[in-house]
Chains A and B, each alone.
Chain A
C-alpha cells in the first residue's frame, strides 16, 4: 500500500481547509447582523418615525489613510471628525447623536468599492460620505448609486466624476466644493484687468497628467491666449514623474512671465520651484492648481520666504471671513496644533460635507436618502457651509461656490482675488526673487 496520500486528495484537502478558512473570514466580517441579507433595493428609510427618535445616525465613509493620497486622506479624517464632535456637542441632529465609521481604502479602487459595500450592507449605515479624489469617487459611486444613497463629497471635482454613468443614471453625487474647471478664472480676470502696458506677454502651462489638474489650466490657457498672452510652453508630463528637472528647466528656458502649473501635490510644485531657483529664473506670476493650499505641508518643504508670491485657486482658506469657518480654524489649531495658515483646505472641505448632510437631514426630518437626493437637487435649496454657500445643479456640482485665488505673503496665506471680493488683500503683483 502506498504510504502517502495521492496528490489529488492531498490538494483537495488543502483546498477544503482554505475554503473553510476563507468562509470563516467572510462569515466573521459579515457577522454583524446580516443573516438574511435584506439590503433594500430602494433607499433605506430609517428614523422617520413621528415620535422623538434618539437612535444614533450612522454615517460611513472610506478614506485613503494609507497609500498615494494618505496626506490628504488624513486631513479629511480630521475634518469629518471635527464635524462629528461639533454636531454631537450641540446635541446631535434633531436630538440624534452621529456615529461615523471610517474605513481605509489605501487609495485603491478595488478596496473602495468593497468598503462602501461593507458600510452599507454590513454596518447598515444610514448615510454615506465620499472618499478622497476624483479617481476613487467614480468607482465608489457605482456601488453607492445602486443602493440609492446620496453621495455627498468634497474631493471629487473633476468633470469625469459628474459625467460618470452612475451619476448620469442616478444623480446622487453632490460635490460641496468648487467645481475645478473654472477655478483659474479670477486669475485670468486679474490679468485682463491690468493695463496693456503692464500685462505680461508670455505664459507657460506645464501640466501633470491628471483629470483634476488639467481642465482649469487648459481653460486658463485658452482665455489668456485670447487676451493676447503668448503661450511659450504647454506640455503634459506624467503624474508619477520621478524627477521634474527636465520639464522645469524647459519652462525656465522659455522665460515665460506667467507660469500656470497644473499640479496635484506639494512635491511637484516644490520641484518646479527648486529648478526655477537653480536656473535663476523667476516668473512675474506663479500660480499652481494644488499644493500651496496644503498649509504647513507646503511651507515646510519650500520655506516661507520662497513661498511668498505663489498663488493657488481654491474655494476656501483659513482666513475666510465666515463665523463658522473661523470657529473651525480655532478648533483645528486647538486640537492638532500649528497655526491657522498651517491648515489644509481638505479639512474645511470635509467639514462642509458634514454640514451639508446635516442640513439635508434636518430639512427632510430623517435619513431617507431618496428624499435627501430630491431636496439637494431642488432648485430652491441653498445651504451654508464653512466654504460658503452651496447649491447643486442637476449633475451635483456646486454652482454657488465662488473661486478665489490665494497667495502666500510672508508666511501668511491670504485671499487676493477677486480683488473686489470681501476679505481680499492686495496682491503681490510681481513675485519676489528667490530667497536663499
Chain B
C-alpha cells in the first residue's frame, strides 16, 4: 500500500464515526434522543477542551465552569443588547469564543503562577467569584438570569440545528486536540506535565505555553456554554456556574483516559447520557447518588489510567497472547552453512 493510502486509511475509523454521528438524527428522529445527543455533544466539547489544557499540562482546573457560564451569559447579553433574534443568534457564537479567551488571559496569568493544589483552589476561588458576580451585577440579570431569543420552530425538529452545530464544534475541538497532541506545542505541554522545571531548563517558555493552552481551552468551553444556553433558552447563576460541572468533566476525562484524544470523548459519551437517564428514572430516594459514587470509586480504583489506555492494553494482550515479545534469533543451522561456505 502506498504511503498516502496508508495514512488515509488511518482516518477511515474517525471518518466513519463522524458520518455515523451525522446521520444519527435521521436514524433516530425522536426529539428525546436528539436531546440526549445535544447535551452529550456539548460535554464532548467541554471534556475535550478541558483535557487539552488539564490533561496535557497536568494542571487540574476546577474552574472551567467560569468559561462555560461566561459563554452562556455573553451570548445572552449580546443577543438582548443588540436585538438579535432567531437563527441569527448562532452567528454570535464566535463572540463567546473571544469572551472565553479574554477571560482566560488574566485568569491564567494569576492562576498559572502556582502549581498543583494551590492552582486547583485558585480555580475554585475564581469560579465562585464569577458565580457571585453573576448574582450581583444588574447586566447579568441578577438571580433571574438571562433568557435567549425565542425560536418559533417545530418541536419535532427543534433539536436538529443545535445537534449539528454541536457536532461541528465537537469535530473541530477533537481535531484541534489531535493536532496539538502531535505537534511540538503538545510536546511542550507534556514536558511541563512531566517535570516543569526541567522543561524550563530545556528552553520551554512555560508560562506562554500554559497560557496559550488555557486560552484555547477556555475559548472552546465558552462556545459550548453558548450553545448550551441557546438550547436551554435560559441561564441563571447557579446553572451557568454550577459547582459540580467541573467535577463531572474531570470524571469524564479521567474515565476515558486523561491526556488521550479519545479518552474525554469516551467519558462524555458514557457519563452524560447515563447521568440524564439515571437521574430521571431513579426517583427512589438517594440510591442513585450512592450508586454513582460507588461507580466512581470502582473506576478510579480499578481502572486508574482510564478506559482507552487500559482497553488498549487489554486488546494488545489479547492479540499477542502466547506470542513472545521478541522474536528469537535465527536457529543454529545458519552457522553450519557459513562453516561450509568457508571451507
Binding site for B on A (CB under 8 A): 3-16, 18-19, 21-23, 25-27, 29-30, 34, 36-41, 62, 65-66, 102-106, 108-111, 113-115, 117-118, 120-122, 135, 138-139, 142, 146-148, 158, 160, 164-166, 168-169, 209-211, 214, 238-240
Contacts and interface: CB of A to CB of B under 8 A. Distances in A.
A24 B232 CA distance: 25
Contacts of A110: 39, 228, 232, 239, 276
B179 interface: no
A337 B114 CA distance: 56
Contacts of B37: 26
B304 interface: no
Given A21-B269, A34-B32, A139-B234, A11 B316 contact: no
Q: Which 3 A-B pairs have the closest CB atoms?
A: A12-B13, A37-B29, A11-B262
Contacts of B28: 23, 26-27, 30, 37
B31 A209 contact: no
A3 B17 contact: no
Contacts, number: 204
B338 interface: no
Nearest to A208: B143
Contacts of B155: 39, 41, 120, 146-148
B273 A139 contact: no
B32 A114 contact: yes
B144 A166 contact: no
Contacts of B311: 10, 13-14
Contacts of A160: 144
Contacts of B270: 18, 21-22
Q: Which of B260, B269, B281, B311 has the most CB of A within 10 A?
A: B269
18 contacts: A10-B312, A15-B265, A18-B270, A23-B24, A27-B33, A34-B32, A37-B30, A39-B31, A103-B280, A103-B283, A104-B280, A115-B280, A118-B32, A135-B239, A146-B153, A146-B154, A160-B144, A210-B143
Contact of B312 (A14, A21, A142, A158): A14
A142 B234 contact: yes
A209 B143 contact: yes
B219 interface: no
A210 B142 CA distance: 8
B36 interface: yes
Nearest to B40: A22
Which of A21, A39, A105, A164 is packed against the most chain B CB atoms within 10 Å? A39
Given A3-B323, A211-B143, A26 B149 contact: no
A165 B79 CA distance: 13
Given A37-B29, A164-B147, 5 more contacts: A5-B312, A25-B273, A66-B285, A139-B233, A165-B149
A11 B308 contact: yes
Nearest to B9: A9
Interface in B146-194: 147-150, 152-156, 158
B132 interface: yes
B147 A13 contact: no
Interface in B291-314: 307-308, 311-312
Contacts of B212: none
B147 A30 contact: no
A65 B234 contact: no
Most chain A CB atoms below 10 A, which of B30, B232, B239: B30
Contacts of B30: 30, 34, 37, 39, 121-122
A37 B288 contact: no
A39 B156 contact: yes
Interface in B92-140: 132, 135-136
Contacts of B24: 23
A49 B266 CA distance: 49
Contacts of A102: 283
Nearest to B132: A238
Most chain B CB atoms below 10 A, which of A8, A16, A40, A214 = A8
A113 to B, nearest CB: 6
